[in-house]
Amino acid sequence: MNTATAMPEVTGCIDAYFTAADGVTQLRSHAQSYPLKIAKTFPFSGGQLGVYIMDASPGIMAGDRYELIWRFGEETNVHVTNQSYTKVHPSHKAGWDAPRPSAQLQKLELGRGAYVEYMPEPLMLYQDASFRSETAVELEPGSSLVLSEIVCPGRTHRGERFRYARYQNALTVRRDDELIFSARQRVEPQLETPRSMGRWDLYTHLGTLYLFSERADATLVEGLRERLNGFAPASGADMELYYGVSLTYKHGLAVSVLGYRVGDIQELLDEAWRYIRTEAFGKGTLRVPK
């Protein structure tokens, strides 16, 4: 077996199952292994259960493989996030026989009527990091998923902009066993500079927010575009962003944004999230303490 491409063994995992009764969602059962753990759960307004993931290590180290399996029963109402950035450390160093890539595999299963917001903190790719991320989503009719991700090109204050070795990302979404969305991305900055090949232009950070739901339609997309076009940050600072909103193939919409700063992208995606909560689901604004 080629050690340069072999997948590492699982080094951290979470397997969680949620149920709902009388409008109350609870974490029914879960298993976890170091360094990953569910730090805490507590109720948010509107009957939503907040779930915090904690990584007790400095981050995803060379050779690590994380697995996170989330099963949301019928009518559950859950918001999942983590406590800090997902930091991906170098996957090869001088003196090693071969690179030791790392990976994170996530699976989300939503039962009928489930509403889930899966919104982790940004992903930070350190210099020489080689990382593969795969997310597989299974939806039953009537369920809804809000999913977001922000990717940073490295610790820019240390001059690590696009100094990582490889970043691969795959997302597949199935609804009632039908494939309704698939996206793949692979970036190797040493082979082709992202900022010079039309992928990012001069931008450095990439953010996405998806809604997969029967409520994602053209009317919601148009309203969301109007809201974002008129958005001004509370700080009053200038935001240099390039973004778009579009419907996916079926039962989904996507907000994609490019920028220079994490905070700018987070503000825009948070505004999109707030609009989706209120306009599509009649939910109030949610404040998530970190």
CB neighbourhood size of 133 (10 A): 22
Tokens 């951290």 -> residue: 12
CA dist 73 and 115 (Å) reads 10
Q: What percentage of the chain exceeds 90 in pLDDT? A: 79
Task: Report pLDDT for 262.
Answer: 94
Cα–Cα nearest to 210, from 108, 105, 111, 74: 108
7-16, 22-31, 67-76, 260-269: the lowest-pLDDT one = 7-16
pLDDT in tens, 27-40: 999 999 999 999 98
Task: Report pLDDT for 256.
Answer: 96
Q: What element of type H or E holds 196?
A: none
Residue spans per domain, the chain: 12-281
What 8-state DSSP symbol labels residue 73?
-
Torsions phi, psi for 82 (to 5 deg):
-125, 175
CA dist 110 and 139 (Å) reads 5
**Any residues with CB less than 8 A from the CB of 248 and at least 6 apart, and which?**
180, 181, 210, 212, 216, 254
How would residue 5 be classed by pLDDT, with cut points 50, 70 and 90?
very low
Structure tokens at 239: 């935001």
pLDDT mean over 150-175: 94
Cα–Cα nearest to 208, from 288, 275, 158, 268: 268
The pTM of this model reads 0.92
Name the maximum alpha-carbon separation found in the chain: 59
CA dist 48 and 50 (Å) reads 6
Tokens 């507590």 -> residue: 42
Q: What percentage of the chain exceeds 70 in pLDDT? A: 92
Average pLDDT across the chain, whole number:
91
CA dist 96 and 30 (Å) reads 37
Q: 123-125 and 144-152: which strand pairing?
A: parallel
CA dist 91 and 165 (Å) reads 8
Question: Rounded to whole angstroms, what are the CA distances from 89 to 63, 74, 105, 223?
Answer: 10, 38, 17, 40
Structure tokens at 77: 């109402």
pLDDT mean over 15-35: 96
Cα–Cα nearest to 265, from 119, 68, 53, 116: 119
Q: Which residues of 65-91 are buried (b: 16+ CB within 10 A; e: fewer)?
A: bbbbbbbbbebbbbbbbbeebbbbbbb
CA dist 15 and 284 (Å) reads 29
- The answer to whether 137 touches 176, Cβ cutoff 8 Å, is no
pLDDT mean over 155-165: 90
